[in-house]
């Protein structure tokens, strides 16, 4: 079901449509749905648990669901699988090498076989891109799908960008100093080269002048004199 279709729904039909969307295989961003006026109305009605589940799919993880499971609708197998995929994305945003032990704990899977099946599925669906390292019991993540930004995520992003900008300024300052030193060294070398060329020219002049003085030609009674 498309977002445009959801706009026309309300009550139980809307709650059912939202629950179905949480199973959609290629849907990992939910901000467009959360911002719909009729969906926001679910928050204060009898279908509030569905709205809270939608928010959890947007910003939360499987561990968050387990902590609040008593107040939320029971997950279908497809929703459970999707929420685990979303949790992997969140973990991959903080570290690019995810150990099996961490994933087994966070995703509450029984064994490595179940975990690897889930990871292979995530790789196949391009939820994450990377490779399994079975020898070291970890998955190396190159990149992953994006998720919605949580309400409190923006300040952290701003701080990260400011730190990045500060780092860039420091690098540019270091490069500028190196360029200045290189320019000064180039000028020094050029000056030295000019001085050497001047000395060579003077030496050539003196050499030619000495040759004419030592072996000069001039008139004499006997003809030429040496």
d(CA 146, CA 199): 68
Euclidean distance between CA atoms 50 and 42, whole angstroms: 8
Is the Cβ–Cβ distance between 201 and 212 less than 8 Å?
no
What pLDDT sits at residue 164?
76
Determine the pLDDT at residue 161: 72
**DSSP codes, the chain:** --HHHHTT--HHHHHHHHHHHTT-TT----HHHHT-HHHHGGGGSTTHHHHHHHHHHHH--HHHHHHHGGGSPPPPHHHHHHHHHHHHHHHHHH-SEEEHHHHHHHHT-SSHHHHHHHHHHHHHTTSEEEEEETTTTEEEEEEE---PPPTTHHHHHHHHHHHHHHHHHHHHHHHHHHHHHHHHHHHHHHHHHHHHHHHHHHHHHHHHHHHHHHT---EETTEE--
How far apart are the C-alpha atoms of 100 and 85, rounded to whole Å?
14
Q: What is the number of alpha carbons within 13 Å of residue 32 lying toward its C-beta?
A: 10
- For the whole prediction, is pTM greater than 0.75? no
Rounded distance between C-alpha atoms, residue 141 and residue 137, angstroms? 13
Contacts for 68 with CB less than 8 Å, ≥ 6 apart: 52, 56
- Say if CB 15 and CB 47 are below 8 A apart: yes
Look at residue 226 in the predicted model and tell me its pLDDT. Answer: 46
Per-residue pLDDT in tens (0 to 9) along the chain, 226 residues: 667 788 889 999 999 999 999 998 889 999 889 999 999 999 998 999 999 999 999 999 999 999 999 999 999 999 999 999 999 999 998 899 999 999 999 999 999 999 999 999 999 999 999 999 999 999 999 999 999 887 775 566 566 677 778 788 888 888 988 888 888 888 888 888 888 888 888 888 878 776 545 444 455 455 544 4
């Amino acid at each position: 079901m498309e977002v445009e279709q959801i706009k026309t729904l309300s009550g139980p039909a809307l709650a059912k449509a939202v629950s179905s969307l949480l199973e959609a295989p290629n849907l990992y961003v939910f901000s467009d749905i959360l911002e719909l006026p009729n969906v926001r109305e679910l928050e204060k009605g009898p279908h509030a648990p569905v709205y809270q589940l939608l928010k959890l799919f947007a910003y939360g993880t499987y561990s968050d669901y387990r902590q609040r499971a008593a107040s939320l609708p029971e997950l279908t197998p497809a929703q459970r699988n999707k929420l685990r995929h979303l949790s992997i994305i969140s973990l991959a945003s903080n570290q690019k090498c995810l150990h099996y032990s961490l994933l087994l704990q966070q995703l509450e899977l029984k064994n490595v076989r179940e975990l690897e099946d889930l990871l292979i599925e995530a790789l196949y669906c391009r939820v994450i891109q990377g490779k399994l390292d079975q020898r070291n019991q970890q998955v190396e993540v190159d990149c992953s799908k994006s998720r919605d930004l949580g309400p409190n995520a923006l300040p952290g992003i701003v701080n990260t960008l400011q730190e990045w900008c500060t780092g860039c300024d420091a690098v540019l300052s270091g490069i500028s100093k190196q360029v200045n030193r290189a320019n000064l060294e180039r000028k020094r070398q050029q000056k030295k080269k000019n001085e050497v060329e001047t000395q060579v020219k003077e030496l050539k002049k003196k050499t030619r002048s000495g040759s004419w003085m030592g072996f000069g030609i001039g008139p004499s009674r006997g003809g030429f004199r040496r």
